[in-house]
């Protein structure tokens, strides 16, 4: 692990470089190129999914790497780094910080055992949560960090279209340190996360998902085109 990765990340931008299965960028070489690009642009760290992708990125960047796996299982809704084997694969691939789903949903391995395993391997841990109580439980179980990543993505957390500002306000109100992640689409939103007390922010789709970025523009253009009264008259 790099020396004091949190000191390098506090007050900065981390970029999540991921591609869903089947998309054109879903390959370790592409993810590594994406990571190099965002670091050139000023990112102080990257968040990477999958052991092969983590290893490819670790070979080409020197910034802290937040690593995770995504594994869909029949026995649980928890899918971000759900097992001890997943922890091992993330660490062995070269991550400095291991992110896990730390929600209160039934899980294959207890939170304390997960965080203990990460610490035993000399890495820091990030608990991705959806509520204030989950953040408290994750820190009590041994997490080094908690993130708003899961807010709006569980059946019991409020469905949101934008960043989880309400959850951030709850964290700040009780003095619980947190990382802001999820649906941060504009620099102004990123700045507000810091105003609310975020240690650092993680931005993904707004920077590294060309399909999602293009769709936002295309939808706006389609909506404009559907209003015939605003179309220019042909000359």
3 pLDDT more than 80: no
DSSP state of 25: T
Separation of alpha carbons 97 and 91, rounded Å? 8
Per-residue pLDDT at 234: 56
Mean residue pLDDT across the chain: 95
User: What is the percentage of the chain residues whose pLDDT exceeds 70?
Assistant: 96
147-194 tens-digit pLDDT: 999 999 999 987 788 999 999 999 999 999 999 999 999 999 999 999
Q: Is the pLDDT of residue 235 over 90?
A: no
Averaged over 116-138, what is the pLDDT?
A: 98
End-to-end CA distance of the chain: 65
Query: Who's near 41: CB < 8 A, 6+ residues apart?
Result: none
Strand order in the sheet with 180-181: 145-147, 124-128, 97-101, 65-68, 45-49, 13-16, 201-203, 180-181
pTM, entire model: 0.94
pLDDT the model gives residue 38: 98
* Domains of the chain, start order: 5-230 (3.20.20.70)
Exposure string for 158-167, b = 16+ CB within 10 A, e = fewer = eeeeebbbeb
pLDDT tens for 29-40 read 999 999 999 999
């Amino acid at each position: 692990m790099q020396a004091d990765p949190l000191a390098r990340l506090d007050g900065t931008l981390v970029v999540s470089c991921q591609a869903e299965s089947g998309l054109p960028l879903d390959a370790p070489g592409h993810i590594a190129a994406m990571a190099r690009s965002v670091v050139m642009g000023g990112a102080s760290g990257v968040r990477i999914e999958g052991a092969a992708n983590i290893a490819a990125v670790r070979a080409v960047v020197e910034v802290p790497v937040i690593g995770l796996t995504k594994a869909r299982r029949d026995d649980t809704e928890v899918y971000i780094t759900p097992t001890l084997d997943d922890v091992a694969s993330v660490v062995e691939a070269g991550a400095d910080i291991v992110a896990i789903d730390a929600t209160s949903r039934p899980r294959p391995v207890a939170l304390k055992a997960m965080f203990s395993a990460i610490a035993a391997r000399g890495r820091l841990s990030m608990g991705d949560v959806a509520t204030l109580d989950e953040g408290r439980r994750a820190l009590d179980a041994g997490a080094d960090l908690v993130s708003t990543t899961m807010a709006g993505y569980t059946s019991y957390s409020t469905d949101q279209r934008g960043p989880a500002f309400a959850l951030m306000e709850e964290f700040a109100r009780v003095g619980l340190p947190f990382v802001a992640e999820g649906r941060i689409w504009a620099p102004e939103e990123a700045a507000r996360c810091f105003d609310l007390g975020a240690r650092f922010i993680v931005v993904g789709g707004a920077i590294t998902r060309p399909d999602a970025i293009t769709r936002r523009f295309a939808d706006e253009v389609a909506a404009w085109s559907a209003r015939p009264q605003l179309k220019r008259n042909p000359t």
